[in-house]
């Protein structure tokens, strides 16, 4: 049993508690501090997100890789804008120059408006997943083919493609909860990533993706995104969560943004909004920010002392989660806190479990 921790470098130290509208401004000092702090804090990787108004995730990863030595990178990448053969060589180059520290997170894009900002004005989501499927087939071929290859498909047509630069072992992470996403994830994902739903609905997604992957003889890992709120006492932790919720409500109200009746375009957010039908779910899953913001991303958290949150994480490990993607509402300070207080406890509990399992197995 192993658990990996994925942190986050969101281009600046902003979050929903600082401003209602997410800033994608690039803060070089923050990027460097966040990379070094999460490497020092024992994170295995950091996610570098991507949006149609954001800095380029690969370039941010290249900069962070140059100032770190062991930290891995999970580079969010959206198919459909770069030719897959070119993207494959870009990622392989970054992987080689970073000493094999790169993984890619494939995001197909839930909202048409988001896609249109980069010029994809015609596609619809189901079609985008079909394109992602073909894109990932070519990406892997470019990474692995020993000889030039041809590909003729619905979206791409390449002749005698060949890459002189190959990645060591570049894992493909995959996000998306639409029915089409589950099939493509089954065929291509090394790790399927989802947001922080209840134990029951996460178990449902794990089962669906495992069933889909089994059709292709594959056995993916699973990553769960959370916003842990930890403090010395449970009471103090829930008080902190309530303060965060109040700050987010104030920011959105001041910005004239809705607090309810959200209609997100992507299925993942709709599932998370369902989870947010109650402010608390399971033992300590808190959904307050997801309910206020329309669950546009990683927006639910486990609340309690580090020991309590670690136990709640182990409940997810029991249903197949082997990666946790975590970030706070005070990104840099919280990543340092998680490295000091949370990661060591979870790793200790996982090691104890493994020992106990081995002892049982005799
Ligand atoms: C862990 C995780 C990280 C994600 N990161 C991004 C991101 O950086 N940029 C983005 O546009 N979408 C991101 N997404 C959103 C999904 O990729 C998006 O919901 C999907 O493309 C459409 O999803 P749907 O099938 O659920 O409708 C992320 C999803 C997950 C689970």
Identify whether the C-beta of residue 16 lies closer than 8 Å to the C-beta of residue 339: no
Residue 17 to residue 281: CA distance in whole angstroms: 22
Evaluate: CB of 107 within 6 angstroms of ligand 1: yes
Identify whether the C-beta of residue 72 lies closer than 8 Å to the C-beta of residue 103: yes
Residue 149 CA to ligand 1 center (angstroms) comes to: 31
- Among protein residues, the one whose CA lies closest to atom 30 of ligand 1: 175
Substitution site in 176, 193, 265, 295 for ligand 1 pocket (most atoms within 8 Å of beta carbon): 176
Identify whether the C-beta of residue 215 lies closer than 8 Å to the C-beta of residue 184: no
Task: Produce one character per residue of 195-208: b if its CB has 16 or more CB atoms within 10 Å, e if not.
Answer: bbbbbebbbebbeb
For 99-144, what is each residue's pLDDT tens digit? 999 999 999 988 899 999 999 998 899 999 999 999 999 999 999 9
Element (H, E) at 324: strand 323-326
Evaluate: CB of 57 within 6 angstroms of ligand 1: no
With CA atoms as reference, report the closest residue to 240 among 303, 324, 316, 317: 303
Evaluate: CB of 267 within 6 angstroms of ligand 1: yes
Identify whether the C-beta of residue 230 lies closer than 8 Å to the C-beta of residue 344: no
Residue 203 to residue 236: CA distance in whole angstroms: 30
Q: Which three-class secondary structure state does DSSP give residue 268? A: helix
Residue 120 to residue 171: CA distance in whole angstroms: 26
Residue 177 to residue 175: CA distance in whole angstroms: 7
Substitution site in 55, 107, 193, 194 for ligand 1 pocket (most atoms within 8 Å of beta carbon): 107
- Helices (DSSP H) in 83-198: which residue ranges? 84-97, 112-116, 125-144, 179-188
- Among protein residues, the one whose CA lies closest to atom 14 of ligand 1: 107
Evaluate: CB of 108 within 6 angstroms of ligand 1: yes
Element (H, E) at 236: helix 234-254
Substitution site in 76, 127, 175 for ligand 1 pocket (most atoms within 8 Å of beta carbon): 175
Q: Which three-class secondary structure state does DSSP give residue 314? A: helix
Domains within the chain, CATH numbers bracketed: 4-361 (3.20.20.30)
Residue 260 CA to ligand 1 center (angstroms) comes to: 21
Residue 111 CA to ligand 1 center (angstroms) comes to: 10
Evaluate: CB of 10 within 6 angstroms of ligand 1: no
Atom of ligand 1 nearest to the CA of 76: 8
Residue 208 CA to ligand 1 center (angstroms) comes to: 18
Evaluate: CB of 185 within 6 angstroms of ligand 1: no
Tell me how far apart the terminal alpha carbons of the chain are, to the nearest angstrom.
17
Residue 166 to residue 87: CA distance in whole angstroms: 12
- pLDDT one digit per residue (tens) for the chain, 362 residues: 789 999 999 999 999 998 877 788 999 999 999 999 999 999 999 999 999 999 999 999 999 999 999 999 999 999 999 999 999 999 999 999 999 999 999 999 888 999 999 999 988 999 999 999 999 999 999 999 999 999 999 999 999 999 999 998 999 999 999 999 999 999 999 999 999 999 999 999 999 999 999 999 999 999 999 999 999 999 999 999 999 999 999 999 999 999 999 999 999 999 999 999 999 999 999 999 999 999 999 999 999 999 999 999 999 999 999 999 999 999 999 999 999 999 999 999 999 999 998 888 87
Q: CB neighbours of 121 closer than 8 A, spacing ≥ 6?
A: 115
Residue 77 to residue 50: CA distance in whole angstroms: 7
Evaluate: CB of 55 within 6 angstroms of ligand 1: no
Angle at 24 between CA 23 and CA 26, to 5 degrees: 115
Identify whether the C-beta of residue 47 lies closer than 8 Å to the C-beta of residue 35: no
For 65-96, what is each residue's pLDDT tens digit? 999 999 999 999 999 999 999 999 999 999 99
3-state helix, strand, coil in the chain (%, to 5): 45, 15, 40
Evaluate: CB of 41 within 6 angstroms of ligand 1: no
pLDDT for the residue 357: 87
Substitution site in 268, 270, 271, 324 for ligand 1 pocket (most atoms within 8 Å of beta carbon): 268
With CA atoms as reference, report the closest residue to 128 among 92, 176, 95, 89: 176
Residue 355 to residue 210: CA distance in whole angstroms: 26
């Amino acid at each position: 049993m192993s658990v990996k921790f994925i942190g986050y470098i969101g281009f600046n130290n902003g979050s929903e508690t600082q401003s209602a509208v997410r800033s994608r401004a690039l803060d070089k000092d923050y990027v460097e501090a966040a990379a070094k702090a999460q490497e020092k804090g024992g994170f295995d990787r950091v996610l570098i997100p991507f949006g149609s108004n954001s800095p380029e995730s690969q370039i941010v990863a290249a900069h962070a890789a140059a100032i770190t030595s062991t930290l891995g990178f999970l580079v969010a990448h959206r198919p459909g804008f770069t030719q897959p053969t070119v993207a494959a060589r870009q990622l392989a180059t970054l992987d080689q120059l970073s000493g094999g520290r790169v993984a890619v997170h494939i995001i197909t894009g839930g909202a048409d408006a988001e896609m249109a900002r980069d010029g994809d004005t015609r596609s619809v989501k189901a079609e985008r997943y079909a394109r992602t499927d073909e894109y990932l087939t070519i990406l892997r071929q470019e990474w692995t083919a020993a000889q030039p290859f041809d590909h003729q498909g619905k979206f791409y047509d390449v002749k005698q493609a060949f890459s002189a630069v190959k990645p060591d072992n570049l894992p493909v992470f995959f996000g998306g909860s639409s029915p089409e996403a589950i099939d493509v994830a089954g065929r291509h994902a090394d790790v399927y990533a989802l947001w922080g739903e209840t134990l029951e609905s996460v178990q449902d997604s794990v089962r669906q993706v495992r069933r889909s992957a089994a059709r292709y003889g594959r056995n993916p890992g699973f990553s769960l995104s959370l916003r842990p709120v930890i403090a010395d006492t449970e009471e103090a932790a829930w008080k902190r969560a309530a303060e965060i919720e109040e700050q987010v409500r104030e920011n959105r109200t001041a910005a004239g943004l809705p607090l309810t009746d959200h209609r997100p375009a992507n299925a993942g957010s709709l599932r998370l909004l369902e989870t947010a039908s109650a402010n608390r779910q399971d033992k300590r899953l808190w959904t307050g920010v997801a309910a206020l913001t329309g669950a546009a991303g990683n927006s639910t958290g486990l609340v309690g002392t580090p020991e309590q949150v670690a136990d709640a994480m182990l409940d997810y490990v029991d249903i197949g989660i082997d990666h946790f993607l975590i970030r706070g509402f005070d990104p840099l300070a919280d990543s340092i806190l998680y490295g000091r207080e949370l990661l060591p406890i979870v790793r200790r509990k996982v090691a104890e479990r493994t020992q106990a399992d081995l002892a049982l197995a005799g």
